[in-house]
Amino acid sequence: MQSAVALSIVMPVYNARAKVEKALESIQNQTFTNWELLLVDDGSKDGSLELLRAWEEKDSRIHVIAKENQGVSIARNTGMKAAAGQYLTFVDADDYLEYDAYEKVMDWVEKTKSEACLFAYYDEKDGKKEEVLLPWESGSVLGQTEIWEQLIPYMIKVFPEDSIANNIFGSVWRLLVKRACVEEHQLQFDTSIQIAEDFDFSIHLFQYLESIVIVNTCLYHYIRWGNTTMDVYRKQQFQEGMDNQHRLRYFLEEAKKYHALEKRYIGSYIDVCIGSLVNFVRPGAPGLLQTMRELSRVVNQIADDSIYDKLDQVQLTQNQKRIFDLMKKRRVLTILILLHMRQFKKRHSKK
């Protein structure tokens, strides 16, 4: 028997009182109305819970779940467990949607009888808005073959020959999926992951899908507030990145796809290494002596990694070659100087 609720929307909320109402208004004003909104307050301390309760009183489709602070993955898992809709989707509390987003997505899903939908979005920062489109036309249906030959590879790493600007962002707020598929395969967000937990969830989900329809229209507004994980220093960024790489490799090996996607994996590994180095010249980085100690540890670990010898499978840029050569020689201070010079040029090029 089909659920009376067509769509369950899961929104984790943590100290978002100042921003969450725009997201709530964009959901309440959707042209598609057969939804439930599960607001999972993750132990907010700023009055978010009281605000959410007020919205719950005004709209019977809104349900608030209050819990102790345990992080976004447990919050999403909590919302999924309580969901009753035929389909499932996610929203972040500081973003918002186009007014007809769910109508368009549900129309395409029902028209193509697909298990899931992936849609385009707007990337917004400092008042500037950029379309982030997908490399397929709206209405394109990817089956198992296309998912493994195109979608998952483009999520791992994009190369110039792919004619795509960037990797396909694996965020779950651009995803709608049949709840039965999630439950059948007992999919949850891995609570041990501190960064890119939604990429991990999505890639595990996609391996099971028979079909996913593409909506190449920007329906979601992803807001970068200037304090995201990629904008400020993270003490554990390198280890978190490497843990995610090992997790990705295990996933590919279990699916017997690692050999076919090894070049993509190596490209992803290179990105993680470069990003981990740049991390040391971001706002919030420690003083020089501590930075040198931590950077030396990262450089030594990369230089000793066995995958280092496979980098020739990927065409590196001149800057990447220079950095990896310096890491092999363990020239930590030179690397730090180059990183600071790069950041200086990057900042001044924006002025």
State the average pLDDT over residues 281-297: 95
Per-residue pLDDT for 257 more than 90?
Answer: yes
Q: Residue 71's pLDDT is what?
A: 94
CB hemisphere CA count around 326 (13 angstroms): 21
Whether the model clears a pTM of 0.95, i.e. scores above it, the answer is no
Could you name the CATH architecture of 7-224? Alpha-Beta Complex (3.90)
222 backbone dihedrals φ, ψ, rounded to 5°: -90, 115
- Band of residue 109 on the pLDDT scale cut at 50, 70, 90: very high
Q: Quote the pLDDT of residue 229.
A: 58
Per-residue model confidence (pLDDT) at position 343? 82
**Rounded mean pLDDT of 240-259?**
97
245 pLDDT exceeds 90? yes
Region 7-27: what's the mean pLDDT?
97
On average, the pLDDT of the chain sits at 94
Residue 149 corresponds to which tokens in the numbers above?
């030959």
Mean pLDDT, to the nearest integer, of 19-48?
97
Q: What is the pLDDT of residue 346?
A: 73
Per-domain residue ranges for the chain?
A: 7-224, 237-349
Judge whether 211 and 114 are in contact, CB under 8 Å: yes
Name the token pair of 294: 């931590």
pLDDT tops 80 at residue 2? no
3-state secondary structure of 142: strand
As a whole-number percent, the residues of the chain with pLDDT over 90 amount to 89
Range with lowest mean pLDDT among 53-62, 163-172, 250-259: 163-172
Whether the predicted pLDDT of 310 surpasses 60: yes
- Average pLDDT over every residue of 38-60: 97
Q: Please, are residues 167 and 202 in contact by the beta-carbon 8 Å criterion?
A: no
Task: Map residue 219 onto helix, strand or coil.
Answer: strand
Angle between helices 197-206 and 237-254 (to 10 degrees): 10
Tens-place pLDDT, residues 291-307: 999 999 999 999 999 99
**How confident is the model over 26-41, as a mean pLDDT?**
98
User: Does residue 227 register a pLDDT over 60?
Assistant: no
Q: Strand, helix or coil at 267?
A: helix
User: Quick check: helix, strand or coil at residue 221?
Assistant: strand
Predicted confidence (pLDDT) at residue 1 exceeds the cutoff of 50: no
